[in-house]
Each structure stands twice: as C-alpha cells, then as structure tokens.
Amino acid sequence: MKKRYWFGGLLVLIVFIAILTNPSEEKYLQFSKERYGDIEAPVEMKIERINFVLFTAYTPTYHWDHGITHIGAFGTFFQVSDGQYDYPFWLEFFN
C-alpha cells in the first residue's frame, strides 16, 4: 500500500514540475534565435502555439509553409519534425 502512495506522490510531483517548467513563447523565440539565428529578410512569421498544459507545441509558419515543430517541456525544446509544407494532421484535432 505504501508503494502506491509513494508512486502516486511521485507522479503528482512530476506533473506539477512539468506544469511549472512549461516554456513560454518568449523562451521559444529566444531558443529559435540562438539555434537558427536571426531572419535576414523581412519575412512575416507567425508562431503557432498549442498548450497541452504539461508541454507545448510550437510551429513557425512562413506564408503557407509550416516550419520545424518543437515540443517545449521541462524548460527545454525537442525537435519533432524536419519542417513540412502542409498543416500537421495531428494539430487539426486541437483547432
């Protein structure tokens, strides 16, 4: 019985830490600037942000093209796509 409480408490702690360390859009912009540099030409870029509470998905869009999608979790970013030219099918469920 103690193992259940210990495991449940650990799970609650991990979820709480994930919620607190979910990176903001400003942190994503800073990460993007450090990793890829500044955009040279004046291109209109929008950041599509979908917050899943425990983590957030960020995808830059340039005109009609969708860029590299990153997942922000635990204060860092993980690349989940190499860029795509159509809308990600899995994001359609959240719009």
Domain boundaries defined on the chain: 2-94
Query: What's the pLDDT at 8?
Result: 92
Both tokens of 61, joined, read: 């869009």
Distance (Å, whole) CA 30 – CA 47: 13
Please give the average pLDDT of every successive group of 10 residues along the chain, which has 95 residues. Answer: 88 94 92 80 78 90 78 93 69 71
Report residue 41: phi and psi, to 5°.
-85, 150
Q: Which residue is it, tokens 């979908």? A: 50
What is the pLDDT, as a whole number, of residue 19? 94
Distance separating alpha carbons of residues 69 and 92, to the nearest angstrom: 14
Q: What is the pLDDT of residue 85?
A: 59
**Predicted pLDDT of residue 7:** 92
Q: Which helix (H) or strand (E) holds 14?
A: helix 2-20
Q: What is the pTM of this model?
A: 0.74
User: What is the model's pLDDT at position 28?
Assistant: 92
**CA–CA separation, 87 vs 61, rounded Å?**
10
